[in-house]
Amino acid sequence: MARTLTLSGDRIGCVRGGRNVFSSLSFSLSSGAALMVTGPNGSGKTSLLRLIAGLIALQSGTIAFSGGDESLTLAEQAHFLGHRDALKPSLTVLENLAFWCAFLGGGDTRSRPEAALETVGLGGLAHLPAAFLSAGQRRRLSIARLIALHRPVWLLDEPTTALDDAARGAIAAVMAAHMNDGGLIVAATHQPLGIDAQELKMGGPT
């Protein structure tokens, strides 16, 4: 039987550039759950994701993850999808996805890159240079790597930005499938995600 995943933050604090972004922030979620982080610009939504991903240091408090692979860190078991799409314009759509799968490695490859592209509606553009993609297509390509290389924790910064209604629905289905498989999602967003999620409201800038 699969182990229950838990991800929690206990009274965590974040300071960036000498500014107190937030303090005494706590949250907890377990397998199959999503946390939707909302709030105005500058309230610390992206900083929270980066703290969980281990990209910036905690000022105070603790972040704990259990139930995953004990030989790997939380960062090695998480996908961090920033609000900017990290793509190489000169590489094709398929080459970009293959690069990320090889670079990230260490995960459970459950879907071939080609199948992941089909899932996000980019199968017909596999051999097109990424430089020719629209903003929405670039976003879908970034999301494809979540599908191609399985990691239990998804940290998503504005995952539906630049997407039309049809694409948002398709991405909501991808997120729901991840949750149904026992995965966890923490998403910073200004828009509804189309999935069942707890909400964590961040305050204004301090």
Give the Cα separation of 130 and 192 in Å (integer): 28
pLDDT-derived band at 2 (thresholds 50, 70, 90) equals low
The answer to the question of residue 94 being in a domain is yes
% the chain with pLDDT above 70: 95
Condensed to tens digits (0 to 9), the pLDDT of residues 118-173 reads: 999 999 999 999 999 999 999 999 999 999 988 999 999 999 988 999 999 999 99
For the stretch 179-192, what's the b/e string if a residue is b when 16 or more beta carbons lie within 10 angstroms of its beta carbon?
Answer: beebbbbbbbbeee
| Average pLDDT of the residues in 4-26 | 94
User: Does residue 160 fall inside a structural domain?
Assistant: yes
- CA separation for the pair 177, 171 (Å, rounded): 10
Whole-number pLDDT of residue 1:
47
pLDDT recorded at residue 109: 52
Mean per-residue pLDDT, 164-184 = 95
Instruction: Please state the pTM of the whole predicted model.
Output: 0.92
Residue at 93 is within a domain: yes
Domains held by the chain: number: 1
The pLDDT of residue 111 is above 80: no
Q: Which two tokens stand for residue 144?
A: 């494809």
**Angle at which helices 135-148 and 93-104 pack, to 10 degrees?**
40
Q: Is the pLDDT of residue 206 over 60?
A: no
Mean pLDDT (the chain) is: 92
pLDDT for the residue numbered 105: 73
Q: Is residue 91 part of a domain?
A: yes
CATH of residue 36's domain is 3.40.50.300
The answer to whether residue 68 sits within a structural domain is yes
Task: Flag whether 184 is in a domain.
Answer: yes
Q: Mean pLDDT over residues 108-117, rounded?
A: 76
Residue ranges making up the domain that contains 82: 6-201
Q: What's the confidence (pLDDT) of residue 86?
A: 83
- Please write the tens of the pLDDT for every residue from 71-97: 999 999 999 998 888 899 999 999 999
